Amino acid sequence: MNKAILLLVLFVSCHTLSNAQNLPINPKLLNGHWSAYWITCPNVSQRDYGVYHFRKIIDLKIAPTKFIIHVSGDNRYRILVNNKAVCSGPARSDLYNWNFETVDIAPFLKSGQNIISAVVWNMGEHAPVAQISNQTAFVVQGDSEAERIINTDNTWKVIKNTAYTPCSTDNGTRLKSYMVIGPGDEVNAAAYPWGWENLEFNDKNWLAARQLVNPAPLGYGTDNLWTLVPRSIPLMEETKQRLKEVRRTTGISGVKDKFLAGNSPLVIPANTKVSILLDQGHNTVAYPELITTGGKGAAITLTYAEALFKNGQKGDRDDIEGKEIIGNYDRFLPDGGTNRLFRPLWLRTFRYLQLDIQTKAQPLIISDLYGQYTGYPFQAKASFTSNDNSLKDIWQVGWRTARLCAGETYYDCPYYEQLQYEADTRIQALISLYVAGDDRLMRKAITDFYNSRVPEGLTQGRYPSNRMQVIPTFSLFWVSMLYDYWLHRPDAAFVKQYLIAARGVLDWYEQKIDPNKKMLGPMKWWNFVDYTDAFTEGVPEGADDGNSAIITLQYIYTLQQAAELFNYFNQKEEAAHYKQLAQELSQNTYRQCFDHEKTLMANTPDKNKYSQHANILGILTNTIPATETKEVMEKILQDPSLGQATFYYRFYLTQALKKAGMADLYYSQLTPWRNMLAINLTTFAEKPEPARSDCHAWSASPNYDFLATICGIMPDKPGFATVRVAPALGELTEAQATMPHPAGEIKVSLQRKGKTGMYAEVILPLNVTGTFVWQDKEIMLKSGISRIKFRE
C-alpha cells in the first residue's frame, strides 16, 4: 500500500481513543516539573506562522502491554505512532490552564524500532480568535520511568514544512461578516517532505530540536510559558463521511456520483480548467481528504460554504440555479506524485464544496474525495416521537445543529467563529444534558468562563479567546449555568467552588444600581440582549445610559437563582441579601416601567418602546403579577409591534409560557423552525432570514423543549434527586420520550383522550421518585413504572 494512502487510512483510528482521558496520571507529574522538555524548531521566529514536523525513533525489546504518554503543543499538534494517528490537541484553553492529552500508545507499538512523529503548527497572526498561544512548541512526557525513552528533548528531530502558506485570509471581507476561524491552507506538494512520518524516511538533514523549558503543572513553576492541566474531555470523534452528489460542473462532463462513492477515479485532462460543485446533502464539520495522482503544475482550490449566494442572499438552501459559492478555501498544488493526500490542518464547515481545478501539461487523477466528520463524541441517548411526524425533522436537524456546534469547546457557530459564548453555551449545555446525558463539556465550559474573569469580577463574553470581549449580560448567564448544573447534577462540590466568582458578577451589577430609581443605571462594555431588529447591535434602550428594564430584569432573574444556590450551600446572609435585592429591584421596575394602559412592560421608564424581551423577563421573575401574566403573555405572542425575539431568545419565551401556565401553546410556537425546514436548512440558523450563520446552537432549543416542555420532564430538587413530569402537549395527542438521568433513564409515554383525559406511563430510575402534573392535579411517581389515568 502506498504510504500516503496508508497515512490517510490510519487517520481514522484516532476516534477509537475517545475515552483515553480516563487513564490515570502519575501523581509526580501533577506535583512538580516534568523531566521532558518543551521543544521547538531552532532558527525560526517562535510566534510567526509555521508548520513543523517532529520525529524520534525508539527501540523496544518487547512490545509493551501499557505505554502511557502525556502530550501537548502550541498552537496545535497531531501525533502519530508507526504511521497511525493517535490523537490531536490540545483541547483549547489558556496559558494558565494549558491542556495536555493522556493516551496509551501500547496498541500502536511493536518490538524493535518504532517511529514517533508529530505535526505541530502555529497560525501566528492568522490564528483563530479562539486560539490562545505563547509560541511554537511541542512536548511528550512518558508517564513513568518505563516510558521515559519517549520524552521530548534535543534527541528529537524537527523540520519546518515550507510547503504551507496561509490562504483565504480575507474571508470577512468577501463574506461581509465577522469571520475569525483562521486561514486556509495552501500546500505546494513539490516542497512537501512526503513520507516524513515513516520509519525509513531519511531525516539526516533535519535539525536537532531546541529545548525550551521543563513543563510545569498547575501550581508549580516561577517563570512558566504554559501551566499544564489534564484534559477533562474525551478526544474528538472522526468518522468517514461521503459527499452525496455532484450538483454542477463546468469545463468537464460525465462526472458521476459514483466518483463520490470512491468507486471511480476522476480524470481531469491536461491544460483544462474545470469547476465541480459537490453537495454533502446536509451541513457538516469535517476534515476533507483529497487523494491525487499526477497533475504536476496543477492547482486545486477547495471552497467551502453552508449555502450558495445570489445577490448576497441565500434563499432556498437546496437551490443552486444562478447562485455562486463564496467561502473560505484551501488550495493544493500537486507535484505529479502518486496518491498524494491533501488534508487541511483544521476542520472545515460545509454543505457545499466546490473544486476549481486548472491543470497544466500533465493530466490529474483524483482518486477519492470525502470528509472525516469530527466533533465532540456526543451520543444521543434521548428519543422523542409523537403523532406529528414533522417533529422528527425538527428533532434530527436540531441535534445535528447541536453536534456541529460542539468540539473542544461549545461553538456559537462552526463556520464563522467557533467561539464559546455564555448565552449560547447555557442552551447548548442543557441540550447536552437532556439528549446525551454528558456533562463533561458543560463542566469544561463553566471552568473556562471562570478562568476568563477580568479584574472587575465579570467573566469575558466568550472564552477561550485571544481578544478581549466583555458582555456583562453573558456573565449573568454564566451564573445561570451554575444554577442549571446544580439542578441537573448531584455534584454540589463542583458548583460550590465557583460561588465566590458568582458573587463577583452579582456585585458588579449591584454597584451599577441607580440609587434614585432603584434600577440598573448606566453600564459599560457590550450590553447585548438579542440580535433583533428592535435593538441596535443587540443592545436595548437604557442599557448604556441607564434604566433598562430588560437588563434589570435579567439581573433580578439571576439574583433569584443565586438566592437558591447560596441558601443551599448554607450561605444564608448572601441568599437573604440577593432575595431582598431582587424584590426591591422588581418592585421598582414594575412601578416605573409597567404600562397599565397597555398591560405591558416597557423597555425603560420612558415607556417609548416595548419588546417581547422585557415582558418575557417580567413574567419569569414574577415582576409582573400573576393577575396580569396571562394577558401579558397573550400580547407577547400576538402583538407584532413589540420588539421580536429571535430564535435564541425564544428559549426564554418558552420558559415564560411555562411560568404563566400556558405551556400548551409551545407546540403552536414552532413555526420559525418549520419555516427554516421549508427553505431546506439542514441545521438551524442564527436568526431569521437573512441569516449569517446557517448553524447556530442557540437555535436548537427544541431538542431540550420537546423533552422538558412537551413531555414536561424537569428536575424537582437539586441534583435531579426527584423528577417533575408536567406534560404540555398542545394539539398533540401522543408523545413518547426517553432521556438520560444521573441515576439511569427516564421514560415517558403520553396519550391524551379528549381535552382533559390522559393515560401516562412513566418509568423512573431506581431510588428516584417524582410527581406527575396534569390539569392542576399532582400524582406521586414511584421508582420503576407508574401508570396514570385521567378520565375525560
pLDDT (tens digit per residue) in 446-498: 999 999 999 999 999 999 999 999 999 999 999 999 999 999 999 999 999 99
Task: Give dist(CA 636, CA 634) in Å, integer.
Answer: 5
> Please, what's the b/e burial string for 75-104 (b: 16 or more CB within 10 A of its CB; e: otherwise)?
bbbbbbbbbbbbbbbbbbbbeebbbbbbbb
Residues facing 788 on adjacent strands: 760
Instruction: Provide the CB-side half-sphere exposure for 383 (13 A, CA).
Output: 8
**Band of pLDDT at residue 21, cut at 50, 70 and 90:** low
In tens, the pLDDT along 731-776 reads: 999 999 999 999 999 999 999 998 899 999 999 999 999 999 999 9
**Band of pLDDT at residue 13, cut at 50, 70 and 90:** very low
Please state whether the predicted TM-score (pTM) of the whole model is above 0.75: yes
Question: How many of the other CB atoms lie within 10 Å of CB of 326?
Answer: 16
Which cell numbers hold the place of 159? 523540520
Which cell numbers hold the place of 41? 524548531
pLDDT for the residue 3: 40
In tens, the pLDDT along 384-401 reads: 999 999 999 999 999 999
Could you give all domains of the chain from N- to C-terminal order, each with its CATH number?
A: 3-162+191-232 (2.60.120.260), 238-375 (2.60.120.260), 384-504+696-701 (1.50.10.10), 512-669 (1.50.10.10), 711-792 (2.60.420.10)
> Please, what's the b/e burial string for 240-251 (b: 16 or more CB within 10 A of its CB; e: otherwise)?
ebebeebebeee
Identify whether the C-beta of residue 546 lies closer than 8 Å to the C-beta of residue 514.
yes
Question: Mean pLDDT over all residues of the chain?
Answer: 96
**Band of pLDDT at residue 354, cut at 50, 70 and 90:** very high
pLDDT at 183 over 90: yes
Strand (E) or helix (H) holding 52: strand 50-60
pLDDT at 61 over 80: yes
Average pLDDT estimate for 296-320: 97
**Band of pLDDT at residue 681, cut at 50, 70 and 90:** very high
Instruction: Provide the CB-side half-sphere exposure for 454 (13 A, CA).
Output: 17
pLDDT for the residue 1: 37
Task: Give dist(CA 397, CA 689) in Å, integer.
Answer: 17
Identify whether the C-beta of residue 279 lies closer than 8 Å to the C-beta of residue 319.
no
Helix (H), strand (E), coil (C) string for 554-572: HHHHHHHHHHHHHHHCCCH
Nearest to 121 by CA among 95, 152, 89, 92: 89
pLDDT at 17 over 90: no
Q: Can you list the alpha helix ranges (DSSP code H) found in 683-722?
A: 702-705
Residues facing 142 on adjacent strands: 69
**Band of pLDDT at residue 256, cut at 50, 70 and 90:** confident
Name, in order, each residue with C-beta under 8 angstroms of 82's C-beta and a sequence gap of 6 or more.
108, 109, 110, 114, 115, 199
Question: How many of the other CB atoms lie within 10 Å of CB of 570?
Answer: 7
Which cell numbers hold the place of 214? 521543563
